[in-house]
Every structure is written in structure tokens, then in C-alpha cells.
């Protein structure tokens, strides 16, 4: 009876995850996002050092990037397993919460990225590297411009996992 219960629990978990052998990015990560953009006619480069927390449930990923000083960005993501080593590597798409197809709205910026993930089972160390494109952080204020200052930028992300404790964050963007 106990064995049957255990088997049932595994099936339920596997069904909930949707994938039996898949890499898992859950944990705390450190690294950099090196970005370039064209803003107000000039090229800019800047580097962010976010503290990143990831929660993964099945294919769904939630990422919280804390830049300090109360600046926090949230992303929703999706995992795509490698065909040969699905439990060790694959790719990930991440989209910034608030992304939409309304160019020039004054809301949150739009950002979408593609990443390569490597995360061996049972190991803390894992890497997540990729490029994101962002647009639409339309700025009407600095300096004042009734039409807003458009921008499009590129960020190269390099992250390494330092802890596999689940931060228990959400995996979908809140409304």
C-alpha cells in the first residue's frame, strides 16, 4: 500500500511538471547584463549586476532580477529541452513582465531574450547565457519631450547559479 502511494505521488509530480527528464534552473543566480542602446541619438553602454532568483515549474520559469535600491524587474520564461540531454541543457525564452505590442506606450519596457541553459542534475553550478532585445522604455521627462524619447537596446546576459534553494516565486506575470 505504501509503495502504491509513492508511485502515485511520482506520477502526479511528473504530470504536473509535464516532463520527466528536464533541466531545472531553480535557485539564486549572480552575473551581469551588459547592455548597449541608442538613446537620444547617442550610443550608450551600461552593465547591470542583478541578483537573480529563478523558480521553475515544468516548462514555466519565473525570474526576479534585483538591481538594488528597490529596482526589481520580473520576467516570465519558458524552457526548451535539448533533444539529446534534456536533463542537462537546453534553451530558454524570457520576456519582461509588462511586454506588449503597443509601441510608444508609457508603461513598462518590452524585452524578449533567448538563452542557452546548462544545469546538470544534482549540481549547484549552472549557467544561463544569452541576448535580449528591449524597446519602448519611452521617456517623456528627461529632458521633457511630448513625443517621448524612443529607444531600442541589446543586453548580453551571463549568469551563474550559486544556490538551488527554491525562492518560490511565481512563474507568470501578475496582472
Partner 1 sequence: MIVFQLIRVALMAAALLGLGPRVATGQDFTVTGTWTGSISCKSFTAGLKETTKVAPVMTVSQVGNEVGVQLDFGGGVFERYTGLANPDGKKPETKGELGLIRCGTDDVLGSEESFDEIGRFTVATKAPPAVKASLKGTTVTARPESVGTCKWKWTRTDVADPGLSTNCQQ
Best CA proximity match to 138, nearest among 128, 125, 152? 152
Best CA proximity match to 37, nearest among 94, 109, 89, 88? 109
Shortest reach from residue 169's CB to partner 1, in Å: 15
Shortest reach from residue 5's CB to partner 1, in Å: 32
d(CA 75, CA 166): 16
Choice between 27 and 137, CB closer to partner 1: 137
Binding map of partner 1 across residues 52-81, x = CB under 8 A, - = no contact: -------xx------xxx-x-x--xxx-xx
Interface of this chain with partner 1, residues 4 to 33, rule: CB under 8 A: none
Choice between 34 and 164, CB closer to partner 1: 34
Beta-carbon-side half-sphere exposure of residue 160 (alpha carbons within 13 Å): 3
Between CA 169 and CA 22, with CA 16 as vertex, the angle to 5 degrees is: 80
Residue 44 interacts with partner 1 (CB under 8 A)? yes
Report the DSSP pairing between strands 27-39 and 51-57.
antiparallel
Beta-carbon-side half-sphere exposure of residue 140 (alpha carbons within 13 Å): 6
Binding range to partner 1, per CB under 8 A, among 6-14, 118-126, 144-152, 159-167: 144-152
Task: Tell me the CA distances in angstroms from 107 to 104, 140, 145, one per residue in order.
Answer: 9, 11, 16
Binding range to partner 1, per CB under 8 A, among 6-14, 107-115, 120-128, 158-166: 107-115
Q: Which residues bind partner 1 (CB under 8 A)?
A: 35, 37-42, 44, 46-48, 59-60, 67-69, 71, 73, 76-78, 80-84, 86, 90-93, 95-104, 109-114, 131-139, 142-143, 145, 147, 149-154, 172-173
Amino acid at each position: 500500500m505504501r509503495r502504491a502511494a509513492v508511485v502515485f505521488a511520482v506520477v502526479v509530480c511528473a504530470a504536473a511538471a509535464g516532463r520527466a527528464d528536464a533541466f531545472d534552473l531553480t535557485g539564486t543566480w549572480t552575473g551581469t547584463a551588459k547592455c548597449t542602446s541608442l538613446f537620444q541619438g547617442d550610443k550608450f553602454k551600461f552593465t547591470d549586476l542583478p541578483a537573480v532568483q529563478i523558480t521553475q515549474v515544468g516548462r514555466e520559469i519565473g525570474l526576479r532580477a534585483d538591481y538594488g535600491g528597490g529596482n526589481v524587474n520580473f520576467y516570465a520564461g519558458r524552457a526548451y529541452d535539448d533533444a539529446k540531454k534534456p536533463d542537462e541543457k537546453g534553451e530558454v525564452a524570457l520576456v519582461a513582465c509588462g511586454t506588449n505590442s503597443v509601441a510608444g506606450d508609457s508603461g513598462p519596457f518590452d524585452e524578449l531574450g533567448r538563452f542557452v541553459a546548462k544545469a546538470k542534475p544534482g549540481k549547484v553550478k549552472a549557467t544561463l547565457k544569452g541576448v535580449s532585445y528591449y524597446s519602448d522604455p519611452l521617456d517623456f521627462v528627461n529632458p521633457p519631450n511630448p513625443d517621448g524619447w524612443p529607444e531600442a537596446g541589446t543586453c548580453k546576459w551571463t549568469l551563474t547559479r550559486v544556490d538551488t534553494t527554491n525562492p518560490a516565486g511565481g512563474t507568470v506575470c501578475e496582472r
